[in-house]
Amino acid sequence: MTLRPVKVGVIGGGSVFTPELVDLLARSYREMPVKEMVLMDINLPRVEILLGIAQRIVARAGVSFPIRVTQDYQEAIKDADYILIQLRAGDQAGRITDEKIGLKYRVPFVETVSVCGLGTFLRSIKIYEDIAGLIRTLAPNAYVMNFANPAGPLTEYLLRLGISRTIGVCNVPVILGQYLGDIYHEPPEAFYMQTRGLNHLTVTDAIYLDGRDILPDLLPRVEPYKFPMPFSHHVIEAFPAVFNPYYQYYFHGQRIMNKLLQAEKTRGEEVLQIEQELLRLYSDPAVDQVPDLLRSRGGFGYSLVVVRLMLSLYRNDDTIHYVNVRNNGVLAELPDDTAVEIPVMIKQGRVLPIETGPLPHYAAPLIITMAEYYRLLLDAAQERSKKALRQALLVHPLFPDADMSDQIIDEMLEINRDYLPASFS
């Protein structure tokens, strides 16, 4: 049987994670040959560094496929089978600015939560609208995998813009699977996790191994303030479930805020240093594999999720993945057009949701609230409406005061004026 080669377009090809992605595609080449890989990035000097190490990684793997760089979205999108979006609007400088606003107003934050998630989303609106328009015209049948943050609302925005084959990906389920594998000495794929919710806001109330729910055995083993539940022992004991680690920003907001205020550097400033060192390594002609340093950069493992998903879609192998897709009634508590994170099965080129049952009553209120926040945020983007943006922040539980929210909105709109649509008011 002759395998059909695929074109892979990467938007944000200058990401430090590109070598991990290329390495996995090279290892999978005999199962899914690559016809062409296009690394698109507006930062040409940076993406050319990534091109060099990408070509060395492919050569080291003993396979061959063309990789080229471009600053043109169209070249990456046109006739692509898979479009991978891993851009960061505003780069690390934008993230650091968002973090400074979070510190100023004492709002708990991380890359996808509260002020940082808001800032990155605002900077991404026009870019995603442009990308969506090109996909509709140049690659209407492509699978679009979004792992740019904030992954939840950006995936939902692409779906709202008519890109129905959009799938949002996250590395937390993979890391949880590896954690379970280490404890029970089984491969991660041996476990089925009954998980559902929103990106970075999921709850898992059953984990099956050989047909048996092992969650009652697992929970007593969980250590407070450590992965997979970085919460106090009181929180862990209170619920018969594994909450996504990002719940810590809601459950322990004051504790998080105190740590953020005491830190010498923000996470964005730390990441900037790590990325500079990675780019220095990538520039070395002798480096032809993914360096260990990449593991210290939050987000390691996203490429594994993406390539596994691509292979499943290519092979139609009936495997289960944990991804973000349009709700379409799977979670009855949420609107149909919400992007929900749930288990799905890949079958005959289709992404089929797996029934998980209703949201646990103790998790539903926050998930429903945040789904409404995302809806209002997307309304604000499409309507270019400061009023809808104000409504969104008043719904969000981490923005506790209307006057403070107004000040944050004004600062965010002013700082990001160059990225926002001109009509935003």
Annotated binding site for substrate: 95, 149
Taking each helix axis from N to C end, the angle separating 364-383 and 386-395, rounded to the nearest 10 degrees, works out to 170
Length of the chain, in residues? 425
Residue set of the binding site for Mn(2+) = 170, 200
CA angle centred on 365, ends 125 and 147, rounded to 5°: 35
Give Cα 210 to chain centroid, integer Å.
30
Q: What distance in Å separates the CA atoms of residue 166 and residue 161, rounded to the nearest whole number?
A: 10
Place of tokens 């550097």: 265
Residue set of the binding site = 95, 149, 170, 200
Sign of CA dihedral 129, 89, 105, 228: positive
Place of tokens 């649509």: 421
Span between the terminal Cα atoms of the chain, in Å: 57
Which neighbouring-strand residues pair with 192?
208
Kindly report the three-state secondary structure assignment for every residue of 88-114.
Answer: CCCHHHHHHHHHHHHHHHCCCCECCEC
Give Cα 308 to chain centroid, integer Å.
15
Give Cα 383 to chain centroid, integer Å.
25
> What is the three-class DSSP state of 223?
coil
